[in-house]
Amino acid sequence: MSILHLLRTVFTNLNEDHFKILHIIEKNLTKFEVVPLEVIEKQSKLDRPSIEKLLKKLNFYRLVWSPRGREKGCLLNYNGLDLLALRNLVKRNIVESIGKALGVGKEADVYEALSPKGEKLAVKFFRIGRTSFRGYGKKRPTLYSIHSHLYASINAARNEFEALNLLHPEGVDVPEPIARNRHIVVTRIFAGIEIPSAQYIKNPLKILTKILDNVIKAYEIGVVHSDLSVYNILVKPSEDIIIIDWPQWVKKDHPMAKIYLKRDLTNLIRYFKKRWNIEIIPRKYQSFLDEVLGEMFNTA
């Protein structure tokens, strides 16, 4: 079910009791592998037939499910988590509507959205472990892995939002953070595309130095991206850039920080050399590159 479908159909067909049940299941997932119906009964103060009816609908929309052999209990799906998080963002007047997909990646889906004031947003849903989630076929994931994937997605969103909040106020070119709920991060949209898709770049050296300036500034603030690639840098026709996708950032004093930073920079410089034959890095970056990368690069 697509997000749009989820919003249009599900929001209009669910009532407060459905959400009450979803909340109870979510809250109890830290205590149970599968939340027993008795627990839902006790905490919702609804009778068993009503709960079964509510669950039937939630199940129909694939918001919850009962693993085979565990029919007397429930688990949350990504759809259920999406709905709870979106509802929170709608209630807080952050998101009003969701539009087309901007990027559907391995570990996240990003959609265009509008705020109630009509501002354009990017809404990122983390989807860790999703591939093994699709269609509960023969190779169903273990219950443990389902829990851990939901929590890993929430954690990833938390990490990314933290990085954006450290970097954006200091003037590092990253998406402006607006809000987070559960596994969703909301930022202001950026009218650019990934560097490898951009055919309008006239000044690659200028772009590279902008990226280096941002990487150095982030490092001075204490943040190393750790998954930097040209696919995580968006560029506008004006050649303004932002660096996106920060869930795996580490602090500067992390034991692997320098190794990650070196890998980030090596990937970047290799790409600029391959696509534009840029081999010479301006002298002002010398001391930083020397410190972090040793004597790997020529500078002018």
Ligand X SMILES: Nc1ncnc2c1ncn2[C@@H]1O[C@H](COP(=O)(O)OP(=O)(O)O)[C@@H](O)[C@H]1O
Decide: is 110 part of the binding site for ligand X (CB under 6 A).
Answer: yes
Residues 58 and 56: their CA atoms lie apart, in Å, by: 6
Give the C-alpha separation, 30 to 76, whole Å. 12
Q: Hey, which residues are catalytic here?
A: 227
Q: Site residues for Mg ion, window 198-237 (CB under 5 A)? A: 232
Kindly tell me which residue out of 245, 249, 250, 268 binds Mg ion, with binding defined by CB under 5 A.
245
Q: Which two tokens stand for residue 84?
A: 């709870």
Of 73, 80, 175, 177, the one binding ligand X (CB under 6 A) is: 175
CB of 108 to ligand X, least distance (A): 4
What residue has token string 């190794």?
A: 259
Take residue 258 and report the two structure tokens written for it.
């320098």
- Does position 235 interact with ligand X (CB under 6 A)? The reply is no
Q: Which of 107, 131, 79 is nearest to 245 (CA)?
A: 107
CA distance 173 to 256: 24
Contact flag: residue 107 with ligand X (CB under 6 A): yes
Site for ligand X contains 245 (CB under 6 A): yes
d(CA 115, CA 123): 11
Among 66, 232, 248, 266, binds ligand X (CB under 6 A): 232
Using CB under 6 A as the binding rule, whether residue 187 contacts ligand X is answered as: yes
Please, is 162 exposed, middle or buried when counting C-beta atoms within 10 Å of its C-beta (0-12, 13-18, 19+)?
Answer: middle
Binding segment (CB under 6 A) for ligand X, from list 45-53, 89-97, 147-155, 189-197: 189-197
Q: Residues 122-141 vs ligand X: string with x where CB under 6 A? A: x-x-----------------
CA neighbor of 119 nearest in space, from 44, 170, 176: 176
**Shortest distance in whole angstroms from residue 64 CB to ligand X:** 26
Residues contributing to the site for ligand X (CB under 6 A): 102-103, 105, 107-108, 110, 122, 124, 175, 187, 189-190, 194, 232, 244-245
